[in-house]
Amino acid sequence: MTSFPSRQWFEDLASRAADDEELFKKLGYVEAKVGIKIDANGRGTRGYLLDFSGYRVSSVAEVADPVPQSDFTIEGTLTAWTDMVRNIQENGEPDLEHTLNRLTMAGVPLKLVASDQLQADIFFRMNQSFQAFFNEAVKVPTEFAS
């Protein structure tokens, strides 16, 4: 069991995604530095920087604030992130209310932060690849932080 959120959890996710390289080749080549920012429900913030390169995540780093280093960052509470990952694990993929695309719409739990519209566009153009990456959570035995 790997604890979520943690660098190890994102590395395990990246490893599972690398095992499914044919899927990612079908979705297309991705070059993006993706920030993940998780507010632990008032008990501090965890930040991660995922470097998507080609058809895989080439590195995962835990960082204090991913925003300045990323093309875009997805921010949200631990509750929102946990709900998304649990939904994927329970259903094999997210239902329509738990996709990255849906969760980053205005007024919903996650927020897309980018320095400009061109950077934000990377998220929207390559959304299927990012979603497929998180869908690999079904293969990562996970212990959720409380």
pLDDT tens readout for residues 60-81: 999 999 999 999 999 999 999 9
CA pair distance 27, 109, nearest whole angstrom: 26
Please state whether 28 falls in left (phi above 0), alpha (psi between -120 and 50) or beta: left
> Does the pLDDT value for residue 145 go beyond 90?
no
Split into its structural domains, the chain has a count of 1
Region 55-60: mean pLDDT is 97
Whether pTM exceeds 0.75: yes
Write the CATH number for 84. 3.30.1050.10
* Candidate from 40-44, 53-57, 93-97 with smallest mean pLDDT: 40-44
For 32, the domain range is 2-140
Inside any domain, residue 64: yes
- Euclidean distance between CA atoms 34 and 84, whole angstroms: 17
Does residue 41 fall inside a structural domain? yes
Element at 12 (helix H, strand E): helix 7-19
> Is residue 146, in this structure, part of any structural domain at all?
no
Q: What would the mean pLDDT of 98-123 be, rounded to a whole number?
A: 93
